[in-house]
Amino acid sequence: MTPLALAGAAIAVSGATPSERRMVLRVRDPRSVAEIDDRDGALIRDEEDLLAARARRFKTAVFLEGASLPDNADGFEVTVRLGERFDHLGDGDIVGLDPGSLRLRVLYRRASKHNSFLVTERCSHYCLMCSQPPRNVKDGWIIDEIASCIDLLDPATDSVGFTGGEPLLEWRRFIALLAVFRGRLPETAVHVLTNGRAFAAEEVTAAWAALGFQRLTAGIPLYSAVDAVHDYVVQARDAFDDTVLGILRLKDKGQRVEVRVVLHAVTAPRLRETCAWLARNLPFVDHVALMGLENTGFALANQDLLWIDPLDYQADLACGVDMLRAAGVNVSIYNLPLCLLDRSVWDIAVQSISDWKNGYLPECDGCAARRRCAGFFSSGRPRFSRGVNPIAVADLRANLRGHSEITTARDAP
């Protein structure tokens, strides 16, 4: 299990203006592309690609290492050479590239359902299990980079996420970015992962609501119904108060809110109470996601504090889900494989792990549920439950009625 390479370095870049600090590049399949933008680069894997790129007068060429090409492959204004790790790039994907340092980040993958833009690495929280540990760096340029690639995105993109850090630290710039995004991709669902504290201020919520964006959701982590526990998990005093107020303000303005509860040894012991509290106090949120832990980033540093075998909260999770459902709350389970869940909640377990860091174990080869299962994080240092166990076809059929993707292990890829 290894995640897809979404960041790294180019082998070489030539022809780019030295003063150009970062460039945004959309890679194209030169053989099928219709119109060419200045920021398009032909993706060249073989000689046919090369001929097509020349014929279509691409100014930029992106060569993948290992491509079998004739010696005279140059002749483009800008040439980028990438290692084999980036072989997954395809037509319409977008990369951000710093010609000086050769640093490169894949910003958007057209074929993926899990596109997410990192808005900043700065954060007002310092969560014990943060998978994307914050850094106090001057990275205001990132918003500009995202803004500069919005018009390159496929307008048919179904959904996009914005994440951080805390995207609303510079809330005026970020909300302005959302406005541009909405203008270009009005049909695309947007999910913003935020700690929600900014919304405690009325002017922020008002600006957010003024976007008039139907498919905009704020995904807000809330780890406990107890202020001291939530504040401890996020390592910030008064966080609970701001976040709850923020959620209330957003809902008061009719905005979509998802509450995200990450389950680990600090939050799981009061999981039933947390769900009961959500059902009683925030039943009007649009979605509650109860999420397994990604063992990466700070979660690794705090393993001893955070690790709990999901099997040990299985019953509490089922009970919590039952309470939320009884209150009419739309609830899902993220990041947990079916074999670790009570059968009563199989129907709301979602394949939530982003494709580039999603993996399965050798045991999964014999499992009937594999194609319906969230599987595991391949990122960080995965830690596995003692309960991982292939599910039999009959078990799956009996407990997941009406789901079409039930398959035998033989069909599984």
- Contact assessment for residue 144 and residue 96, using Cβ atoms and an 8 Å cutoff: no
Report in angstroms how near the CB of residue 86 gets to other proteins at its nearest: 30
Backbone angles phi, psi at 124, to 5 degrees: -90, -5
> Which CB, 243 or 335, lies closer to other proteins?
243
Report in angstroms how near the CB of residue 334 gets to other proteins at its nearest: 23
C-alpha to C-alpha distance for 332 and 352, rounded to whole angstroms? 10
> Which CB, 280 or 403, lies closer to other proteins?
280
Nearest Cα to Cα of residue 269 among 231, 234, 223, 323: 223
C-alpha to C-alpha distance for 30 and 33, rounded to whole angstroms? 6
> Which CB, 179 or 327, lies closer to other proteins?
327
Nearest Cα to Cα of residue 37 among 82, 94, 87: 94
C-alpha to C-alpha distance for 383 and 111, rounded to whole angstroms? 29
Task: Return all residues near 198 (Cβ < 8 A) that are at least 6 apart.
Answer: 166, 168, 169, 171, 204, 246
User: How many Cβ atoms sit within 10 Å of the Cβ of residue 135?
Assistant: 11
Tokens at residue 90, please? Answer: 């395809």
> Which CB, 206 or 228, lies closer to other proteins?
228
> Which CB, 149 or 282, lies closer to other proteins?
282
Report in angstroms how near the CB of residue 302 gets to other proteins at its nearest: 7
For residue 186, what are the β-bridge partners? none
Give me Rg for the CA atoms of the chain: 23
Report in angstroms how near the CB of residue 272 gets to other proteins at its nearest: 10
> Which CB, 102 or 226, lies closer to other proteins?
226
Based on the number of CB atoms within 10 Å of its own CB, is 187 exposed (0-12), middle (13-18) or buried (19 or more)?
A: exposed
Report in angstroms how near the CB of residue 330 gets to other proteins at its nearest: 13
Report in angstroms how near the CB of residue 308 gets to other proteins at its nearest: 17
> Which CB, 139 or 227, lies closer to other proteins?
227
HSE toward the beta carbon, residue 409, CA cutoff 13 A: 12
Report in angstroms how near the CB of residue 229 gets to other proteins at its nearest: 7
Could you tell me how many residues make up the chain? 413
Report in angstroms how near the CB of residue 211 gets to other proteins at its nearest: 24
Residues lying near other proteins in the complex (CB under 8 A): 126, 128, 133, 225-229, 231-232, 235, 237-238, 240-241, 244-245, 248, 270, 273-274, 276-277, 280-281, 283, 301-302, 322-323, 326-328
List C-alpha distances in Å: 411 to 215, 317, 360, 408: 36, 31, 15, 6
> Which CB, 145 or 231, lies closer to other proteins?
231
C-alpha to C-alpha distance for 250 and 371, rounded to whole angstroms? 36
Based on the number of CB atoms within 10 Å of its own CB, is 398 exposed (0-12), middle (13-18) or buried (19 or more)?
A: exposed
Report in angstroms how near the CB of residue 243 gets to other proteins at its nearest: 8
Tokens at residue 122, please? Answer: 């700065």
> Which CB, 277 or 384, lies closer to other proteins?
277
